[in-house]
Amino acid sequence: MKAYFQIITACLIWGSYGLFVQMLGYSPEVVVFFRFLFGALFLVTLSCFTGNLRQLKPSSHTGMLFLMGCINAASWLMLTRSIMYTSVANGFILYYTAPCFVMLLAPVILKEHFEKRSLVALILSFTGIILIAGQGGEVYRDHNLLGNILGVSSGVLFAFYLIALKKLPSEKLGLVSNVYVSLTVALVTLPLAAPAMSAVTLSGLLLLVFLGIFIQGVGTTMYMIGLRRVKAQHAGILSYFEALFSMLFAGLFLHERMTPAFLAGAVLIIAGGALIMALKGKEDLAAAENCRLSKRN
């Protein structure tokens, strides 16, 4: 169960991202670029001090990690454009279709067993997302077709990114994968961020450094380590906690109103996560029982 709690803790850390974006007020491209750049630099520095720098040497998986970084960067940029062309709510609702695609792809690519309980948990959590993002209605009004296409595309790409992470060897999934992916995203977003970098102040830069270390360096590495022992289907559904924590932080620190629709959505997301945790607990009990029987025999 430790890995599942690592995933949820990572979502808690990621949930603070909106607070940084609001405080900084920079363009999305600038924030994304510095988030991934400083996250990578922090992890490389940490590897130097811990004597694990040799782990970051190029290997047979370097090309795969570079491709994954490009996919992740494209997903982020498509989500950003989708929000610009439609709305924040619509963009994130379409982005969070990713677990739906993971549930379809994981049994085919990763040979994961398709679970009916996971489907129920997905429906509960996705309904919660619609309630939270929609805040009671008017979610699908006057949305640009291109923005909707980009939003769905960002979800599809994130699903492939999550599947690709699960295909990595366990020793590469964590700090190593995060360093290569983060450097690639920073490289891809640099041309888009460069024109707006003149607006970055010293205090803003310090905040961006903390954002990169805390959210990308610590949060994402924890997520990837947890992903070693968590099914892709389960990890996708648990990612809905990120949206829940984002709204909670917005209510606590930005004084955004928490509507009844938000509270209902929160209950559904928690119910979906609890169902996944219960399913994991049942699997652990079954595995322990099989182990006990085999020892007796």
Instruction: Give the pLDDT confidence score for residue 139 in this predicted structure.
Output: 42
Instruction: Give the pLDDT confidence score for residue 138 in this predicted structure.
Output: 43
Q: Domain containing 246: what range?
A: 2-296
| 155 close to 94: Cβ distance less than 8 angstroms | yes
Instruction: Give the pLDDT confidence score for residue 165 in this predicted structure.
Output: 92
pLDDT, one tens digit for every residue, the chain (297 residues) = 789 999 999 999 998 888 888 888 888 889 999 999 999 999 999 999 988 888 898 888 899 999 999 999 999 888 887 877 776 666 777 788 888 888 888 888 888 887 777 888 888 888 887 777 665 444 444 457 787 788 889 989 999 999 999 999 998 999 999 999 999 999 999 999 999 999 999 999 999 999 999 999 999 999 999 999 998 989 988 888 888 888 788 788 877 777 787 788 888 888 888 888 776 666 655 555 565 656 665
| Contacting residues for 51 by C-beta, under 8 A, at least 6 apart | none
Instruction: Give the pLDDT confidence score for residue 284 in this predicted structure.
Output: 57
* For helices 17-24 and 28-50, angle between their N-to-C axes, nearest 10 degrees: 120
pTM, full prediction: 0.85
Domains of the chain: total: 1
Instruction: Give the pLDDT confidence score for residue 72 in this predicted structure.
Output: 92
